Structure 1
Protein backbone atom coordinates (compact mmCIF):
# COMPACT_ATOMS: atom_id res chain seq x y z
CA UNK A 1 0.00 0.00 0.00
CA UNK A 2 2.85 2.39 0.75
CA UNK A 3 4.31 1.76 -2.68
CA UNK A 4 0.95 2.47 -4.33
CA UNK A 5 0.49 5.68 -2.33
CA UNK A 6 3.89 6.96 -3.44
CA UNK A 7 3.21 5.82 -7.00
CA UNK A 8 -0.19 7.54 -7.12
CA UNK A 9 1.38 10.85 -6.10
CA UNK A 10 3.46 10.87 -9.27
CA UNK A 11 1.33 12.34 -12.10
CA UNK A 12 3.64 10.99 -14.81
CA UNK A 13 3.37 7.50 -13.36
CA UNK A 14 -0.42 7.73 -13.21
CA UNK A 15 -0.49 8.96 -16.81
CA UNK A 16 1.73 6.06 -17.87
CA UNK A 17 -0.53 3.59 -16.07
CA UNK A 18 -3.54 5.16 -17.77
CA UNK A 19 -1.92 4.63 -21.18
CA UNK A 20 -1.10 1.02 -20.31
CA UNK A 21 -4.74 0.41 -19.33
CA UNK A 22 -5.94 1.99 -22.59
CA UNK A 23 -3.65 -0.25 -24.63
CA UNK A 24 -4.78 -3.27 -22.60
CA UNK A 25 -8.45 -2.48 -23.28
CA UNK A 26 -7.74 -2.11 -26.99
CA UNK A 27 -5.90 -5.45 -26.97
CA UNK A 28 -8.75 -7.23 -25.17
CA UNK A 29 -11.47 -5.69 -27.36
CA UNK A 30 -9.56 -6.08 -30.63
CA UNK A 31 -12.19 -8.40 -32.20
CA UNK A 32 -14.88 -5.81 -31.44
CA UNK A 33 -12.93 -2.71 -32.48
CA UNK A 34 -11.56 -4.26 -35.66
CA UNK A 35 -13.29 -7.53 -36.60
CA UNK A 36 -11.19 -10.22 -38.24
CA UNK A 37 -11.61 -11.34 -41.84
CA UNK A 38 -13.99 -14.22 -42.44
CA UNK A 39 -11.14 -16.65 -43.19
CA UNK A 40 -9.67 -16.04 -39.72
CA UNK A 41 -12.91 -15.86 -37.74
CA UNK A 42 -11.89 -18.93 -35.72
CA UNK A 43 -9.46 -16.79 -33.70
CA UNK A 44 -11.50 -16.24 -30.55
CA UNK A 45 -9.21 -16.59 -27.53
CA UNK A 46 -7.85 -13.46 -25.83
CA UNK A 47 -4.39 -14.95 -26.43
CA UNK A 48 -5.00 -15.51 -30.13
CA UNK A 49 -3.51 -13.33 -32.85
CA UNK A 50 -4.50 -13.56 -36.53
CA UNK A 51 -1.71 -14.72 -38.79
CA UNK A 52 -2.21 -11.82 -41.19
CA UNK A 53 -3.66 -8.32 -41.23
CA UNK A 54 -6.93 -7.68 -43.02
CA UNK A 55 -6.49 -6.73 -46.68
CA UNK A 56 -8.66 -4.86 -49.13
CA UNK A 57 -7.07 -5.39 -52.52
CA UNK A 58 -3.40 -5.66 -53.38
CA UNK A 59 -2.53 -2.15 -54.53
CA UNK A 60 1.18 -1.37 -54.57
CA UNK A 61 0.34 2.16 -53.37
CA UNK A 62 -1.33 3.23 -50.11
CA UNK A 63 -5.00 4.18 -50.16
CA UNK A 64 -6.23 7.32 -48.42
CA UNK A 65 -8.52 7.03 -45.37
CA UNK A 66 -12.19 6.31 -46.09
CA UNK A 67 -15.22 5.64 -43.86
CA UNK A 68 -14.60 1.92 -44.36
CA UNK A 69 -10.89 2.23 -43.55
CA UNK A 70 -10.59 5.33 -41.30
CA UNK A 71 -6.79 5.07 -41.06
CA UNK A 72 -6.29 4.16 -44.68
CA UNK A 73 -4.64 1.20 -46.36
CA UNK A 74 -0.92 0.63 -46.48
CA UNK A 75 1.10 -0.77 -49.33
CA UNK A 76 -0.34 -4.13 -50.51
CA UNK A 77 -3.78 -3.15 -49.19
CA UNK A 78 -3.30 -3.88 -45.49
CA UNK A 79 -5.79 -2.14 -43.19
CA UNK A 80 -3.78 0.20 -40.93
CA UNK A 81 -6.50 0.32 -38.27
CA UNK A 82 -6.57 -3.47 -38.12
CA UNK A 83 -2.78 -3.60 -37.79
CA UNK A 84 -2.70 -1.02 -34.98
CA UNK A 85 -5.57 -2.56 -32.98
CA UNK A 86 -4.37 -6.13 -33.25
CA UNK A 87 -0.79 -4.94 -32.93
CA UNK A 88 -1.68 -3.89 -29.37
CA UNK A 89 -2.54 -7.49 -28.56
CA UNK A 90 0.64 -8.65 -30.29
CA UNK A 91 2.69 -6.17 -28.26
CA UNK A 92 1.24 -7.32 -24.94
CA UNK A 93 1.42 -11.06 -25.59
CA UNK A 94 4.88 -11.04 -27.16
CA UNK A 95 6.46 -8.72 -24.58
CA UNK A 96 4.91 -10.44 -21.55
CA UNK A 97 5.96 -13.92 -22.74
CA UNK A 98 9.48 -12.75 -23.54
CA UNK A 99 9.86 -11.00 -20.18
CA UNK A 100 8.44 -14.01 -18.32
CA UNK A 101 10.85 -16.43 -20.01
CA UNK A 102 13.80 -14.06 -19.58
CA UNK A 103 12.91 -13.48 -15.94
CA UNK A 104 12.62 -17.21 -15.24
CA UNK A 105 16.03 -17.97 -16.77
CA UNK A 106 17.63 -14.95 -15.13
CA UNK A 107 16.18 -15.77 -11.71
CA UNK A 108 17.46 -19.35 -11.81
CA UNK A 109 20.96 -18.46 -12.97
CA UNK A 110 21.30 -15.32 -10.85
CA UNK A 111 19.96 -17.01 -7.72
CA UNK A 112 22.23 -20.03 -7.98
CA UNK A 113 25.26 -17.88 -8.74
CA UNK A 114 24.61 -15.35 -6.00
CA UNK A 115 23.57 -17.72 -3.23
CA UNK A 116 26.10 -20.53 -3.65
CA UNK A 117 29.01 -18.48 -5.05
CA UNK A 118 32.36 -20.16 -5.69
CA UNK A 119 33.04 -21.91 -8.98
CA UNK A 120 29.32 -21.98 -9.83
CA UNK A 121 29.17 -18.20 -9.62
CA UNK A 122 32.30 -17.87 -11.73
CA UNK A 123 31.07 -20.18 -14.50
CA UNK A 124 27.58 -18.70 -14.69
CA UNK A 125 28.73 -15.08 -14.61
CA UNK A 126 31.38 -15.66 -17.26
CA UNK A 127 28.69 -17.18 -19.47
CA UNK A 128 26.55 -14.12 -18.76
CA UNK A 129 29.46 -11.90 -19.76
CA UNK A 130 29.62 -13.71 -23.10
CA UNK A 131 25.98 -12.78 -23.76
CA UNK A 132 26.74 -9.15 -22.87
CA UNK A 133 29.77 -9.15 -25.17
CA UNK A 134 27.57 -9.22 -28.26
CA UNK A 135 25.32 -6.27 -29.20
CA UNK A 136 21.78 -7.47 -28.50
CA UNK A 137 20.28 -6.33 -31.80
CA UNK A 138 23.11 -7.95 -33.79
CA UNK A 139 22.74 -11.22 -31.91
CA UNK A 140 18.98 -11.15 -32.51
CA UNK A 141 19.45 -10.60 -36.24
CA UNK A 142 21.92 -13.49 -36.49
CA UNK A 143 19.72 -15.92 -34.55
CA UNK A 144 16.55 -15.00 -36.46
CA UNK A 145 18.40 -15.31 -39.77
CA UNK A 146 19.63 -18.77 -38.80
CA UNK A 147 16.39 -20.17 -37.33
CA UNK A 148 13.81 -18.37 -39.49
CA UNK A 149 11.27 -15.56 -39.31
CA UNK A 150 8.63 -17.17 -37.14
CA UNK A 151 6.94 -15.63 -34.12
CA UNK A 152 7.90 -18.54 -31.84
CA UNK A 153 11.52 -18.28 -32.98
CA UNK A 154 11.50 -14.54 -32.30
CA UNK A 155 10.10 -15.04 -28.78
CA UNK A 156 12.67 -17.69 -27.87
CA UNK A 157 15.46 -15.63 -29.44
CA UNK A 158 14.52 -12.53 -27.46
CA UNK A 159 14.40 -14.56 -24.25
CA UNK A 160 17.79 -16.12 -25.01
CA UNK A 161 19.32 -12.66 -25.34
CA UNK A 162 17.39 -10.80 -22.65
CA UNK A 163 17.86 -13.01 -19.56
CA UNK A 164 21.40 -11.84 -18.78
CA UNK A 165 20.29 -8.49 -17.36
CA UNK A 166 17.94 -10.17 -14.89
CA UNK A 167 20.59 -12.71 -13.88
CA UNK A 168 23.16 -10.05 -13.08
CA UNK A 169 20.69 -7.87 -11.19
CA UNK A 170 19.21 -10.66 -9.05
CA UNK A 171 22.70 -11.95 -8.27
CA UNK A 172 23.77 -8.57 -6.93
CA UNK A 173 20.65 -8.37 -4.75
CA UNK A 174 21.10 -11.90 -3.38
CA UNK A 175 24.73 -11.21 -2.52
CA UNK A 176 23.45 -8.54 -0.13
CA UNK A 177 20.38 -10.31 1.21
CA UNK A 178 22.03 -13.66 1.97
CA UNK A 179 24.28 -11.99 4.58
CA UNK A 180 21.43 -10.40 6.54
CA UNK A 181 20.55 -11.54 10.05
CA UNK A 182 17.24 -13.27 9.32
CA UNK A 183 18.87 -15.42 6.63
CA UNK A 184 21.67 -16.38 9.03
CA UNK A 185 19.06 -17.14 11.69
CA UNK A 186 17.12 -19.41 9.33
CA UNK A 187 20.33 -21.20 8.41
CA UNK A 188 21.22 -21.58 12.09
CA UNK A 189 17.80 -23.14 12.79
CA UNK A 190 18.57 -25.83 10.23
CA UNK A 191 16.50 -24.61 7.27
CA UNK A 192 17.51 -26.14 3.94
CA UNK A 193 19.00 -24.06 1.15
CA UNK A 194 15.92 -24.36 -1.11
CA UNK A 195 13.69 -23.23 1.77
CA UNK A 196 15.93 -20.29 2.60
CA UNK A 197 16.07 -19.23 -1.06
CA UNK A 198 12.33 -19.48 -1.69
CA UNK A 199 11.08 -18.12 1.64
CA UNK A 200 13.67 -15.56 2.68
CA UNK A 201 16.11 -14.63 -0.09
CA UNK A 202 14.08 -14.33 -3.30
CA UNK A 203 11.05 -12.49 -1.83
CA UNK A 204 13.38 -9.79 -0.51
CA UNK A 205 15.46 -9.55 -3.68
CA UNK A 206 12.98 -9.22 -6.55
CA UNK A 207 11.49 -5.76 -5.85
CA UNK A 208 14.22 -4.03 -7.87
CA UNK A 209 13.37 -6.26 -10.85
CA UNK A 210 9.92 -4.67 -11.18
CA UNK A 211 11.43 -1.51 -12.62
CA UNK A 212 13.53 -3.43 -15.15
CA UNK A 213 10.55 -5.59 -16.13
CA UNK A 214 8.37 -2.55 -16.76
CA UNK A 215 11.02 -0.81 -18.86
CA UNK A 216 11.77 -4.02 -20.78
CA UNK A 217 8.16 -4.48 -21.87
CA UNK A 218 8.34 -1.14 -23.67
CA UNK A 219 11.83 -1.65 -25.09
CA UNK A 220 11.06 -5.17 -26.36
CA UNK A 221 8.18 -3.82 -28.46
CA UNK A 222 10.48 -1.17 -29.94
CA UNK A 223 13.15 -3.77 -30.76
CA UNK A 224 10.53 -6.15 -32.17
CA UNK A 225 9.27 -3.34 -34.40
CA UNK A 226 12.83 -2.50 -35.44
CA UNK A 227 13.44 -6.08 -36.58
CA UNK A 228 10.22 -6.03 -38.58
CA UNK A 229 11.20 -2.68 -40.11
CA UNK A 230 14.51 -4.04 -41.43
CA UNK A 231 12.83 -7.21 -42.70
CA UNK A 232 14.06 -9.81 -40.21
CA UNK A 233 11.17 -9.68 -37.76
CA UNK A 234 7.72 -11.24 -37.88
CA UNK A 235 6.49 -12.83 -41.14
CA UNK A 236 5.16 -10.46 -43.80
CA UNK A 237 1.63 -9.29 -43.08
CA UNK A 238 1.66 -10.26 -39.39
CA UNK A 239 -0.30 -7.72 -37.26
CA UNK A 240 2.67 -5.90 -35.80
CA UNK A 241 3.36 -2.17 -35.59
CA UNK A 242 6.82 -2.66 -37.05
CA UNK A 243 5.28 -4.29 -40.11
CA UNK A 244 3.20 -1.17 -40.72
CA UNK A 245 6.30 1.02 -40.45
CA UNK A 246 8.07 -1.30 -42.87
CA UNK A 247 5.21 -1.01 -45.35
CA UNK A 248 5.44 2.79 -45.18
CA UNK A 249 9.19 3.06 -45.84
CA UNK A 250 8.72 3.70 -49.57
CA UNK A 251 6.27 6.55 -48.93
CA UNK A 252 7.87 8.46 -46.06
CA UNK A 253 9.14 11.17 -48.40
CA UNK A 254 5.65 11.76 -49.85
CA UNK A 255 3.56 13.92 -47.49
CA UNK A 256 0.22 12.75 -48.87
CA UNK A 257 0.86 9.33 -47.38
CA UNK A 258 1.50 10.62 -43.86
CA UNK A 259 -1.04 8.20 -42.37
CA UNK A 260 1.05 5.16 -43.34
CA UNK A 261 3.79 5.97 -40.82
CA UNK A 262 2.27 8.50 -38.39
CA UNK A 263 -0.33 6.21 -36.81
CA UNK A 264 1.95 3.21 -36.16
CA UNK A 265 4.85 5.49 -35.20
CA UNK A 266 2.84 7.33 -32.57
CA UNK A 267 1.44 4.05 -31.28
CA UNK A 268 4.93 2.63 -30.70
CA UNK A 269 6.06 5.86 -29.03
CA UNK A 270 3.11 6.00 -26.63
CA UNK A 271 3.32 2.30 -25.75
CA UNK A 272 7.02 2.53 -24.94
CA UNK A 273 6.55 5.84 -23.13
CA UNK A 274 3.77 4.40 -20.97
CA UNK A 275 5.88 1.51 -19.67
CA UNK A 276 8.90 3.73 -19.11
CA UNK A 277 6.83 6.18 -17.08
CA UNK A 278 5.42 3.31 -15.01
CA UNK A 279 8.90 1.89 -14.49
CA UNK A 280 10.41 5.21 -13.42
CA UNK A 281 7.56 5.85 -11.00
CA UNK A 282 7.89 2.35 -9.55
CA UNK A 283 11.58 2.98 -9.00
CA UNK A 284 10.83 6.18 -7.10
CA UNK A 285 8.11 4.46 -5.07
CA UNK A 286 10.23 1.42 -4.15
CA UNK A 287 13.48 3.26 -3.48
CA UNK A 288 13.48 4.19 0.23
CA UNK A 289 15.92 7.02 -0.47
CA UNK A 290 13.49 8.85 -2.78
CA UNK A 291 11.46 11.74 -1.40
Structure 2
Protein backbone atom coordinates (compact mmCIF):
# COMPACT_ATOMS: atom_id res chain seq x y z
CA UNK A 1 0.00 0.00 0.00
CA UNK A 2 1.29 3.43 -0.94
CA UNK A 3 2.11 5.91 1.81
CA UNK A 4 1.00 9.51 1.49
CA UNK A 5 4.23 10.82 3.01
CA UNK A 6 6.43 9.00 0.53
CA UNK A 7 4.34 10.08 -2.45
CA UNK A 8 4.43 13.72 -1.35
CA UNK A 9 8.19 13.48 -0.87
CA UNK A 10 8.57 12.08 -4.39
CA UNK A 11 6.56 14.93 -5.89
CA UNK A 12 8.42 17.55 -3.83
CA UNK A 13 11.79 16.22 -4.97
CA UNK A 14 10.54 15.94 -8.54
CA UNK A 15 9.68 19.64 -8.38
CA UNK A 16 13.09 20.32 -6.80
CA UNK A 17 11.64 21.98 -3.73
CA UNK A 18 12.85 21.81 -0.16
CA UNK A 19 10.44 21.14 2.67
CA UNK A 20 10.75 24.81 3.56
CA UNK A 21 9.94 25.88 -0.02
CA UNK A 22 6.79 23.77 -0.02
CA UNK A 23 5.79 24.91 3.45
CA UNK A 24 6.07 28.59 2.51
CA UNK A 25 4.11 28.06 -0.72
CA UNK A 26 1.35 26.16 1.08
CA UNK A 27 1.35 28.50 4.11
CA UNK A 28 2.07 25.72 6.60
CA UNK A 29 5.05 25.03 8.85
CA UNK A 30 8.06 23.17 7.56
CA UNK A 31 7.75 20.94 10.61
CA UNK A 32 4.27 19.90 9.52
CA UNK A 33 5.52 19.02 6.02
CA UNK A 34 8.29 16.96 7.62
CA UNK A 35 5.85 15.15 9.91
CA UNK A 36 3.55 14.31 6.99
CA UNK A 37 6.42 13.00 4.87
CA UNK A 38 7.75 10.82 7.67
CA UNK A 39 4.30 9.43 8.48
CA UNK A 40 4.18 10.99 11.96
CA UNK A 41 1.19 13.16 11.05
CA UNK A 42 -1.89 12.21 9.04
CA UNK A 43 -2.92 15.08 6.77
CA UNK A 44 -6.56 15.95 6.13
CA UNK A 45 -7.96 15.64 2.61
CA UNK A 46 -7.88 19.43 2.32
CA UNK A 47 -4.22 19.50 3.33
CA UNK A 48 -3.37 16.80 0.78
CA UNK A 49 -4.99 18.85 -1.96
CA UNK A 50 -3.39 22.06 -0.68
CA UNK A 51 0.07 20.54 -0.93
CA UNK A 52 -0.75 18.90 -4.25
CA UNK A 53 -1.85 22.25 -5.65
CA UNK A 54 1.48 23.85 -4.73
CA UNK A 55 3.30 20.88 -6.26
CA UNK A 56 1.24 21.19 -9.45
CA UNK A 57 0.23 17.53 -9.23
CA UNK A 58 -2.09 16.42 -12.09
CA UNK A 59 -5.64 15.46 -11.14
CA UNK A 60 -5.04 11.77 -11.79
CA UNK A 61 -2.19 11.77 -9.29
CA UNK A 62 -4.12 13.87 -6.78
CA UNK A 63 -6.60 10.99 -6.57
CA UNK A 64 -3.67 8.69 -5.90
CA UNK A 65 -2.48 10.96 -3.09
CA UNK A 66 -5.95 11.03 -1.55
CA UNK A 67 -6.25 7.24 -1.65
CA UNK A 68 -2.83 6.88 -0.01
CA UNK A 69 -4.01 9.21 2.77
CA UNK A 70 -7.15 7.13 3.32
CA UNK A 71 -9.65 9.36 1.52
CA UNK A 72 -11.95 8.81 -1.44
CA UNK A 73 -10.84 10.15 -4.84
CA UNK A 74 -12.05 13.68 -5.48
CA UNK A 75 -11.84 13.77 -9.29
CA UNK A 76 -13.88 11.68 -11.72
CA UNK A 77 -12.65 10.19 -14.99
CA UNK A 78 -15.21 9.63 -17.72
CA UNK A 79 -14.92 9.03 -21.47
CA UNK A 80 -15.23 12.17 -23.55
CA UNK A 81 -18.46 10.79 -25.02
CA UNK A 82 -20.01 10.36 -21.54
CA UNK A 83 -23.26 12.26 -21.10
CA UNK A 84 -21.85 14.19 -18.14
CA UNK A 85 -19.22 15.70 -20.44
CA UNK A 86 -21.62 16.50 -23.28
CA UNK A 87 -21.26 20.26 -22.88
CA UNK A 88 -17.47 20.03 -22.99
CA UNK A 89 -17.53 17.63 -25.94
CA UNK A 90 -19.94 19.90 -27.83
CA UNK A 91 -17.62 22.83 -27.18
CA UNK A 92 -14.65 20.87 -28.52
CA UNK A 93 -16.65 19.81 -31.59
CA UNK A 94 -17.54 23.45 -32.26
CA UNK A 95 -13.88 24.45 -32.03
CA UNK A 96 -12.92 21.70 -34.48
CA UNK A 97 -15.65 22.64 -36.98
CA UNK A 98 -14.91 26.35 -36.70
CA UNK A 99 -11.28 25.70 -37.60
CA UNK A 100 -12.16 24.15 -40.95
CA UNK A 101 -10.95 24.19 -43.69
CA UNK A 102 -7.72 23.84 -41.72
CA UNK A 103 -6.90 20.63 -39.79
CA UNK A 104 -7.48 20.29 -36.04
CA UNK A 105 -7.54 17.32 -33.71
CA UNK A 106 -7.89 16.38 -30.05
CA UNK A 107 -5.45 14.08 -28.26
CA UNK A 108 -5.08 12.73 -24.74
CA UNK A 109 -2.09 12.72 -22.37
CA UNK A 110 -0.52 9.81 -24.27
CA UNK A 111 -1.07 11.49 -27.64
CA UNK A 112 -3.89 9.19 -28.70
CA UNK A 113 -6.20 11.06 -31.07
CA UNK A 114 -9.79 11.12 -29.81
CA UNK A 115 -11.46 13.61 -32.18
CA UNK A 116 -10.66 15.29 -35.50
CA UNK A 117 -12.30 17.65 -37.95
CA UNK A 118 -12.91 16.80 -41.61
CA UNK A 119 -9.79 18.59 -42.82
CA UNK A 120 -7.65 15.88 -41.17
CA UNK A 121 -9.15 13.02 -43.23
CA UNK A 122 -7.04 13.45 -46.41
CA UNK A 123 -3.83 13.20 -44.37
CA UNK A 124 -4.86 9.81 -42.99
CA UNK A 125 -6.06 8.40 -46.31
CA UNK A 126 -2.94 6.34 -47.07
CA UNK A 127 -1.90 5.51 -43.52
CA UNK A 128 -1.56 1.81 -42.61
CA UNK A 129 -4.90 0.76 -41.04
CA UNK A 130 -3.32 -0.65 -37.87
CA UNK A 131 -1.87 2.79 -37.09
CA UNK A 132 -5.42 4.09 -36.76
CA UNK A 133 -6.49 1.59 -34.07
CA UNK A 134 -6.27 3.84 -32.11
CA UNK A 135 -4.44 6.66 -33.90
CA UNK A 136 -1.50 8.07 -31.97
CA UNK A 137 -0.27 11.46 -33.12
CA UNK A 138 3.42 10.78 -32.45
CA UNK A 139 3.36 7.34 -34.07
CA UNK A 140 1.41 8.61 -37.09
CA UNK A 141 3.86 11.45 -37.55
CA UNK A 142 7.05 9.38 -37.32
CA UNK A 143 6.20 5.85 -38.51
CA UNK A 144 7.29 5.04 -42.10
CA UNK A 145 3.81 3.59 -42.67
CA UNK A 146 2.20 6.77 -41.44
CA UNK A 147 2.90 10.39 -42.36
CA UNK A 148 6.70 10.19 -42.12
CA UNK A 149 7.23 9.71 -45.90
CA UNK A 150 5.23 12.91 -46.51
CA UNK A 151 7.05 15.05 -43.94
CA UNK A 152 9.84 16.98 -45.64
CA UNK A 153 11.48 18.20 -42.43
CA UNK A 154 11.10 14.98 -40.44
CA UNK A 155 14.14 15.69 -38.23
CA UNK A 156 12.60 19.00 -37.17
CA UNK A 157 9.24 17.41 -36.43
CA UNK A 158 10.90 14.64 -34.40
CA UNK A 159 12.83 17.27 -32.43
CA UNK A 160 9.60 19.15 -31.66
CA UNK A 161 7.86 15.97 -30.48
CA UNK A 162 10.92 15.09 -28.40
CA UNK A 163 10.99 18.50 -26.69
CA UNK A 164 7.26 18.47 -25.96
CA UNK A 165 7.20 14.97 -24.49
CA UNK A 166 10.37 15.63 -22.51
CA UNK A 167 8.63 18.61 -20.88
CA UNK A 168 5.51 16.53 -20.31
CA UNK A 169 7.46 13.75 -18.58
CA UNK A 170 9.32 16.30 -16.49
CA UNK A 171 5.97 17.64 -15.29
CA UNK A 172 4.41 14.23 -14.58
CA UNK A 173 6.20 10.87 -15.04
CA UNK A 174 4.22 8.28 -17.01
CA UNK A 175 5.49 4.75 -17.86
CA UNK A 176 3.47 4.41 -21.09
CA UNK A 177 4.54 7.83 -22.33
CA UNK A 178 8.13 6.96 -21.46
CA UNK A 179 7.79 3.77 -23.52
CA UNK A 180 6.46 5.81 -26.47
CA UNK A 181 9.43 8.17 -26.13
CA UNK A 182 11.91 5.28 -26.03
CA UNK A 183 10.28 3.66 -29.06
CA UNK A 184 10.11 6.68 -31.35
CA UNK A 185 12.07 9.60 -29.95
CA UNK A 186 15.19 8.37 -28.17
CA UNK A 187 18.11 9.96 -30.09
CA UNK A 188 19.97 7.54 -32.35
CA UNK A 189 23.62 7.69 -33.34
CA UNK A 190 22.72 7.83 -37.06
CA UNK A 191 19.92 10.38 -36.69
CA UNK A 192 20.38 13.46 -38.87
CA UNK A 193 20.43 16.69 -36.86
CA UNK A 194 17.47 19.03 -37.00
CA UNK A 195 18.28 22.27 -38.77
CA UNK A 196 18.91 25.43 -36.80
CA UNK A 197 16.42 28.18 -37.59
CA UNK A 198 17.59 31.38 -36.01
CA UNK A 199 15.49 33.89 -37.92
CA UNK A 200 12.12 32.09 -37.84
CA UNK A 201 9.60 32.72 -35.08
CA UNK A 202 8.58 29.05 -35.12
CA UNK A 203 9.39 25.80 -36.90
CA UNK A 204 6.70 24.78 -39.39
CA UNK A 205 5.84 21.22 -40.31
CA UNK A 206 6.32 20.78 -44.06
CA UNK A 207 4.15 18.08 -45.63
CA UNK A 208 4.14 17.04 -49.28
CA UNK A 209 0.53 16.62 -50.44
CA UNK A 210 -0.90 16.62 -53.96
CA UNK A 211 2.38 17.71 -55.49
CA UNK A 212 2.67 20.68 -53.14
CA UNK A 213 4.67 21.38 -50.02
CA UNK A 214 2.35 22.54 -47.27
CA UNK A 215 3.87 24.55 -44.44
CA UNK A 216 1.85 24.38 -41.21
CA UNK A 217 2.30 25.61 -37.65
CA UNK A 218 0.08 24.71 -34.72
CA UNK A 219 -1.37 26.01 -31.47
CA UNK A 220 -2.47 24.03 -28.41
CA UNK A 221 -5.72 24.68 -26.50
CA UNK A 222 -6.57 23.11 -23.14
CA UNK A 223 -9.46 23.42 -20.68
CA UNK A 224 -9.07 25.92 -17.86
CA UNK A 225 -9.50 24.63 -14.28
CA UNK A 226 -11.08 21.27 -15.15
CA UNK A 227 -12.36 18.99 -12.38
CA UNK A 228 -12.58 15.87 -14.55
CA UNK A 229 -9.43 13.89 -15.29
CA UNK A 230 -10.33 13.41 -18.96
CA UNK A 231 -10.76 17.15 -19.51
CA UNK A 232 -7.56 17.82 -17.56
CA UNK A 233 -5.61 15.62 -19.95
CA UNK A 234 -6.98 16.42 -23.43
CA UNK A 235 -5.65 19.10 -25.74
CA UNK A 236 -6.80 20.56 -29.05
CA UNK A 237 -4.07 21.03 -31.65
CA UNK A 238 -5.07 23.42 -34.43
CA UNK A 239 -2.95 23.75 -37.57
CA UNK A 240 -2.61 26.98 -39.54
CA UNK A 241 -1.06 27.76 -42.93
CA UNK A 242 2.38 29.33 -42.63
CA UNK A 243 2.26 30.88 -46.11
CA UNK A 244 -0.24 31.96 -48.77
CA UNK A 245 0.38 28.88 -50.94
CA UNK A 246 -0.61 26.58 -48.10
CA UNK A 247 -3.68 28.69 -47.33
CA UNK A 248 -4.72 28.45 -50.97
CA UNK A 249 -4.42 24.65 -50.88
CA UNK A 250 -7.05 24.45 -48.14
CA UNK A 251 -9.35 27.24 -49.33
CA UNK A 252 -9.40 26.62 -53.08
CA UNK A 253 -12.12 24.15 -54.11
CA UNK A 254 -11.02 20.68 -55.24
CA UNK A 255 -7.43 21.06 -53.98
CA UNK A 256 -7.70 20.05 -50.33
Could you say which TM-score interval applies, normalised by the shorter chain? Answer: under 0.3
Question: What is the TM-score of this pair, normalised by structure 1?
Answer: 0.22
Give TM-score scaled by structure 2 length: 0.24
Considering fraction of residues, name the structure with more helix.
1
User: Higher relative CO (CA 8 A, sep ≥ 6), structure 1 or 2?
Assistant: 1
Greater percentage in strand: 2
